[in-house]
Each structure stands twice: as C-alpha cells, then as structure tokens.
Chains A and B, each alone.
Chain A
Amino acid sequence: MTTALTTPWARAVTRSRLFWPAVVLAALLLGNLAFTPDFFAIHLKNGHLYGSSIDILHFGAPLILVSLGMTLVIATGGIDLSVGSTVAIAGALACQHISEAADPASLGTVFGAIGIALATAVLLGTANGVLVARVGVQPIIATLILMVAGRGVAQLITDGQIITITSEPYKLIGGGYWLAMPFAILLSGLVALLTALLTRSTALGMLLESVGGNPVASRLVGIRAMRLVGLVYVFSALCAAVAGLMVSSNVSAADGNNAGLWIELDAILAVVIGGTSLNGGRFSIGGTVLGALIIQTLSTTVYTIGIPPETTLVFKAFVVIAVCLIQSPNFRAKVAKRGAGRHSGARPAPATTTTNREVGA
C-alpha cells in the first residue's frame, strides 16, 4: 500500500474522489464476470440493445435520478427522506390522469400527465424547502412528514388500487427504446449531465458547498442560504418525480404502496458511497452516479450469482460495509500501517538540520 506512485498522472488518478467508487464498481462487475462469463455481452435484437450491463443502467436509472437530487440536498447538510413518497405520488398522478383521459395514447395526454406530476413535485419540494430553510425544522424531521404523509396521499390518488394504463408514448419514458438504447438510460444520463452543468458551470456548486461546509460563515459572507437550500429541495423533488414517471411507465402501472419504497435509503447510500459527506460540504455528481450504479450492480449480482433470497439482504449489507470501509481514508491508512509495520518497522529518521544550538539547563 505504501508504494510510492511516482508518475503525476497516477497520483492524480488515485487522489481523485472518483477513484475508489470506480474501483469498487469495477470489482463488482468483474466479480460478476467470474460467475457469468457473458456478463459484458451486449446483443442487438430487433434494433434494441440487450445485456446485463444495459440492464444495470436501465434498472438503476430511477435510483440515479433520485440520488442526484439527494446529492445537492446532502451537500447543504440536509437530507430528504420524502423522495420515495414523491416517486409514488408522481407516478400515481400521471397514471391517474392517463387512465381517465379520453385518449390515453395521445401525446397531449402524456405531456399533461408529466406536467401535473412535475408541478406537484415543485409544490412538495417547496413545502420541504420552506420547512427546512425558513421555519428551521431539522431536515430529517421536515422531510419525514412528507415521507409518511406522502404514501397516504399516493394511495388516496390511486384509491388504494393499482392503476394500470395502456399508453404507448408514456411507456417510452421508463420502458421504451430510443436509438437502440433504453430511453430511461438516456434520460437519467441527461439529467446527470444537466445537474453537473447546473452546479459546476454556475457558482451554485461552490455556494452550496459553502453553506453545507460552514453555515455561519456563509451567512456572514452574504450568501442567500435560505433561497439556495429551498431550491435544492425543489430540485430533489423534481428528480424524484421524474424517477416516479420512469418507474410507473416501466410497469405501465401506479402502485401507491410500493413505488419508490425505500429508494430514499438507497439514494442516501449512493451519495455517501460516491464520496459526499453526510455532514454537508463537498459533493461529487460523478461519485453519486457511480454510487447508484454500485448499488444497482449489487442488486443484479444477487440474482446472477444465485444468492438464496432469504440471505439477499444480509449479503447486501456486508458488501455495503466493505465498500464503505474501502472508501474510508482512515481505514485504508490503518490497513496500510499494519501491512507496513509487519515487514519494515520504523523508518529511518531524516538527517537533522540543526543550527545554532546552545545548551544550558
């Protein structure tokens, strides 16, 4: 572990915040290869791409979306537990609208459904933002309200039933293909790109990191923290709503009970694995995307290597613990020290550069 990396680029790569998440993802993927030799194989069938890696991207798309919003919320030192409920509400509203429309397959109906879902998300996000930024409720409590109540709202919308719909254009969002790729992959990729642009080519990223890193100093430096924090909760709700559209579109149904269930926890995990601290401050969009992919790969792995269903969660838990430890610089330093201590012992002291010593005691 202590081998000196001499070339500057190698050092830059290992120091990069994305290095360890990327290593973990690569290891998981290669692990799959050992069990499934054709794991990386991609086929073109009927003009659509198929393969395990495509599946991971496809099924991971909603999680990526939710995690993107979560990243910015966590960067401000907050947390958004309500995203799962927002996923359910958005899907329920969209499917409700389509199922009641005269022509479920018309573009107008589908855009109407999307519009309703997104507008509601803005409303929900604003509610969270006002509670956190203006009223000053702790984020975990403020968003817990909507997490619990939102499930109820979603079930009210669907009347406790699962609404099934048939709408070809709506199906595209989560289950369709475009340019041979699942549309969901393209959509989540696009949102990730936009998020990166939004934060890094404006000053939004830096100001959010400042607010999360030191709220007191940020106020004294004149940052309008209230507005920024409110904004990220709206953004998080919007991301969750798009994920909700995706989930309901993929199965052509809205399930108020189970859509997006526990996705907030996976999203938080993805953000943390991606190298963003729960204390707020520095965040990494690329890291979050990798984190979400790690979690999705893990879920896929459970099926491909045939872990018995009753041990699935335990297996996942162990992998997550391992991933978090590998990512911790402190843990790596400890392991390195152990390793080094075994064969080298104390390093020689450098020559002293004493000048001008006077001794008296």
Chain B
Amino acid sequence: MRQQPVLEVRGIRKEFPGVVALDGVDFRLFPGEVHALMGENGAGKSTLIKVLTGVYPADGGEMVLAGERVRIAGPLQAQQAGISTVYQEVNLCPNLSVAENIFIGREPRRLGLIAWAEMRRRAAELVRTLDLDIDVSAPLDSYSIAVQQLVAIVRAVDVSAKVLILDEPTSSLDRDEVSQLFTVMRRLRDQGVAILFVSHFLDQIYEICDRMTVLRNGRLEGEYLTSELNQVDLVSRMIGSELAGLDQLAGGQRGERSAPAAGPAFLEAEGLARRGAVEPYDLAIRPGEVIGLAGLLGSGRTEAARLLFGADHKDGGAVRINGTEADLRTPRDAIAHGIAFCSENRKTEGLVGELTVRENIVLALQAARGWTRPLSRTAQDALAERWIRTLDIRPGDSEALVRNLSGGNQQKVLLARWLITDPKLLILDEPTRGIDIGAKAEIQKLVADLAEKGMAVLFISAELEEVLRLSHRVGVLRDRRMVAQLRNDGGLTPERVLATIASGAEQ
C-alpha cells in the first residue's frame, strides 16, 4: 500500500549557539502508523520534535503537511494544523482541575462565559474512552504523574490530532499504565492518526511501532521497518561505531557481582522514617557496596533516599556514619559527611540551567567551601575540562549553558558535580531515566567502577534489569515500606523481585 505521508520534512536544519542540533534531516510520517524516533541523547530527537511543533523555528528545510507546504510558526499553529504533542514532562497546570486542563484555551462557552457543566461532562466522556477512573473536577495535582500524563494525552487527542507526538510518555508509567497507553495508541492508529513515539525502552518500541527513523549526531541515519531491523542492529545504528559496552547491555554480567569484603558499614540507618513519605526502615551500606532500591512509582524509593541526604526532615530513627550518630538535618550536613545525591528531577532539583557547565560542575564543591574561599578560575577550568573529558560530556564546551545540553549530558554534568566532591556515599535517583542507551551504559559502567574503588552507592531505578546488573543487594519497597532486602548472589531474577514487590514479602 502506497500512501501519501501526512507529514513530511526535508532537509531540516537547526542550530543553537555552538551546536548544530539538526543537520539536513528528512523525516516522514504516514497516517495510521506508529513511528518511532530513535537516537542517543543529543542526536536531535527533541529538537526535531520541537521544530515539528513550532516551538523552535527551523533554520532551513521545508515541511509538507497533508500535501501542502507549511510554515509552522508556533505551538498554537501546529495544534491548529493537527499536530498535537505530549512531552516527557507534563506541561499542564497542576493547580487547575482535570477538566480545565483538557479544555484550557478552548473552553466550551455560552454567551461568552465558560459553560462549566458542559466542560465537565465532555471531559468525563473523554476520560472514560481511556478507561480512566478519575474525577475530572479534582485538581490535576491530586493525581499521580502517570495519570497526569494520560490526561495530557486525552487533551492532545481531543485537539483534533492528525499527528500525535508522544515524547517519552512512558518514562514515568508503570507496566499496567503502559499497556493502557498502548491500547489507546492502537485505537488511535486504527482510526488513521499518525503517531510519533519516542521512548528509550526498546521493548516498547518493538511492541508498538511499525516503522522507525534513526538519528545520530543531528543527522539522519536511516528509516526502517521495525520488522526488518533487529534490536542489536538498531542500537549499533544509533551509537555508530562505538559498540563498546554493548555486551553488557545484552544482559551478561548480571548476577556475577560478588559482594565487597565484609567490613564495618559506612552508613547505618535505623528506623528512619517520615510520616506520609516512608515507614521506618533500616539500611546499612558498606564502602564499595552498591545497594539498589526497587519498587513501583510512589513506593517510597526517592523518599527513603532523601531522608539519608537530609533533604527532608525525619520524624524518627537515627543515622550512624562510621559508627557515630550523625544528625543530618540539611543537605549541607549530609554533604559534610561525604554523602552526595543526584536527584531524579535534573531540571528542577539538580541543575541551574542558566549557569554554565563549568559552574554547575564546581557548584557543590564551591558551596562546601563557602563563598569566601573561591576556587580559582584556573582550578575550575581544570576540573570542568577533566570531567567533560572523563564523562564525554557533549558539547565539550565548559562555558555552554547547561540548559542547552541534552538530558544524558545534563545527567553527566550532575554526576561530575558530585564526583569532584569525592563522596563516600553516592545516592543516584533514576540516573539513567530519559537518557539514551549509550549514555546509560556509560553511567552503569561508571557506577560499577566507583564501587570497585570503594565508594558506597545507593542506586534507585525503575528498571529492574539495571538494578540487578549493578547492585550487591536490593532493597524492595512497597507502599512506602521497605519489605525486603535481597542479596543479589546470582539467583536473584527480575521475576523474584517483582514477586516480592507484588506480595510484599521476601520470595
């Protein structure tokens, strides 16, 4: 079947100061298909989407929508032309109701006034088509991120979408929610909607997508049918010649992690708790040990880690560091004890976007020294250069603004910031979320190396495979309670961890 593409772009070019984000990229999208946009971080996926949706004007190239050459000058125009987008981070107003969010900017009106009852009724109908059981008059932020994401999709679909762009919609959804989303996507596809899907989960790509376009370093690598390109080939096309670390991804290594030499714990938590966040839990981490935290979204993984870092106040329990009680009331206290924490929210809790890569890297070290003892510019440059090289941060310009970097590179900047403080315990909350496979492998390898050298690591991730690959022990959380700590001695499988999560008792 030969059809006209509903959306076609040719030779799209986009430059940012110092970076060519897209270099003559071609891309086509047919009606009634789910099309994956693949590439490493910084390959230009997000930029391409932002050009398609008019967020960024293209510096060159042309765009054809339903057979007509168009120039999309803004998100509103894109929407009117039938291109709707749901971004990685939910771009809705959390303080407004679900119904208001669905209809914001196009509220049903009567005599110039908003027809509230009609709006709620229509919102409820739309939500029901997705089999979602939510109260549309409740504020959006009373629901989980996953539900908020689905609301964003409801909104996007309802804005008469010919083209629906889903940018990492699944990165914060659990399995059931993903399959729910896929059901909706298939239904929309059968109705003739063209869906552009971006995800870092290869299994999901292969489950839902018909075709894929691969980008590398801002250039088009190729366009393939999913059925004709296997996963290994796809990954090698995404990362080019650098195939190092792939064997690790193939799933080797797992279970081969021998426990570090037994010794006194660096940090011991006893009955640590915070009401509404996490029930009392015990945890001991030895130098050189990687402890994984597994559990569903909202199970208390992040909350447990934040208590160890003094980011939230504890209600009860105690922390001992090297055997002596430590009062970690602020992050500053924890940092003074050699604890570092990379938050899962890079943008809101990690980086300062308008500062440079160099400034972001030295920030923690400088904060510890206080403002009266500045690091010399030479020392800052040397540190930044060294870590840009060590972690292969791109672009390798220490004076680039951090907000212009891609997600994976931002994550590396965050890691560099903490590694230069030479921490004894590194807490990583979802360090590989939303970043591509190449950077992911690099970060996993880095974690293993650091532990090898004697750093204690607390590793939080929603991906069980990843947790098992790296951890010596896995703490399992369920409903804000640490239900088990499993030794990763070779016999531990994702299935066993899942069973523990599901049953709430050690399996």
Contacts and interface: CB of A to CB of B under 8 A. Distances in A.
Given A203-B374, A220-B341, A356 B221 contact: yes
B436 interface: no
Given A206-B359, A209-B354, A217 B349 contact: yes
A350 B61 contact: yes
A357 B331 contact: no
Nearest to A198: B371
A222 interface: yes
A271 B60 CA distance: 37
Contacts of A350: 11, 13, 23-24, 60-61
Given A213-B355, A348-B60, A349-B10, A203 B335 contact: no
Nearest to A360: B225
B211 A361 contact: yes
A358 B225 contact: yes
A16 interface: no
Contacts of A6: none
Interface string B1-40: 1110100001101000000000111100010010000000
Contacts of B309: 220
Interface in B353-395: 353-355, 359, 363-364, 366-375
B365 to A, nearest CB: 9
Contacts of A220: 309, 311, 331, 341, 343, 349-350
A349 B22 CA distance: 12
Q: For the side of the interface on B, what is the size category?
A: 35 or more
Question: Which secondary structure dominates where chain A touches chain B?
Answer: loop
B220 A359 contact: no
Given A202-B372, A220-B341, A354-B26, A210 B220 contact: no
Interface in B204-236: 211, 219-225, 228
Contact of B221 (A346, A348, A352, A355): A355
A349 B60 contact: yes
Contact of B3 (A203, A346, A358, A361): A361
Contacts of B3: 361
A314 interface: no
A48 interface: no
B324 interface: no
A221 interface: yes
Interface string A278-322: 000110000000000000000000000000000000000000000
B195 interface: no
A228 interface: yes
A332 interface: no
Contacts, number: 140
A281 B368 CA distance: 20
B371 A202 contact: yes
A223 interface: yes
Contacts of A355: 220-222
A46 interface: no
B398 to A, nearest CB: 14
A352 B223 contact: no
A353 interface: yes
Contacts of B479: none
Nearest to B3: A361
B241 interface: no
B417 interface: yes
B359 A216 contact: no
Given A220-B350, A358-B228, A210 B60 contact: no
A269 to B, nearest CB: 22
A349 B211 contact: no
A134 interface: no
A349 B9 CA distance: 11
Interface string A211-246: 001101111111110001000000000000000000
A349 B11 contact: yes
Question: Which secondary structure dominates where chain B touches chain A?
Answer: mixed
B236 to A, nearest CB: 12
Contacts of A346: 62, 71
B440 to A, nearest CB: 23
Interface in B308-323: 309, 311
A221 B417 contact: yes
B129 interface: no
A353 B23 contact: yes
B179 to A, nearest CB: 27
Nearest to B213: A357
Given A209-B352, A350-B60, A202 B374 contact: yes
Given A350-B23, A352-B26, A358-B224, A203 B371 contact: yes
B181 to A, nearest CB: 24
A201 interface: yes
A349 B24 contact: yes
B220 A354 contact: yes
A214 B5 CA distance: 43
A337 to B, nearest CB: 8
Contact of A210 (B33, B331, B363): B363
Given A361-B2, A361-B30, A349 B367 contact: no
B222 A357 contact: yes
Nearest to A209: B355
B68 to A, nearest CB: 15
Most buried by A among B225, B353, B367, B417: B367
Contacts of B189: none
Interface string A162-197: 000000000000000000000000000000000000
Nearest to A15: B17
A353 B343 CA distance: 38
B402 to A, nearest CB: 10
Interface string A329-361: 000000000000000001111111111111111
A207 interface: yes
Contacts of B330: 219, 222
Contact of B367 (A201, A216, A223): A223
A191 to B, nearest CB: 19
Nearest to B220: A354
Given A213-B352, A360-B211, A361-B2, A352 B367 contact: no
A217 B24 contact: no
A325 interface: no
B482 interface: no
Contact of A358 (B24, B223, B343): B223
Nearest to A337: B57
Contacts of A349: 10-11, 13, 24, 60-62
Nearest to A359: B223
Contacts of B332: 222-224
Contacts of B363: 206, 210, 221, 223
Contacts of B368: 222
Given A210-B355, A350-B61, A356 B30 contact: no
Interface in A103-144: none
B351 interface: yes
Interface in A76-116: none
A352 B222 contact: no
A213 B221 contact: no
Nearest to B332: A222
Contacts of A357: 26, 222-223
Contacts of A251: none
Nearest to B32: A361
Given A216-B349, A361-B5, 10 more contacts: A203-B366, A203-B370, A204-B371, A206-B359, A207-B371, A210-B359, A210-B367, A217-B352, A224-B332, A346-B62
Q: What are the nearest 4 A-B pairs in CB distance?
A: A349-B11, A356-B222, A203-B374, A213-B352
9 contacts: A202-B374, A207-B366, A220-B309, A220-B349, A221-B331, A224-B367, A349-B62, A360-B211, A361-B1
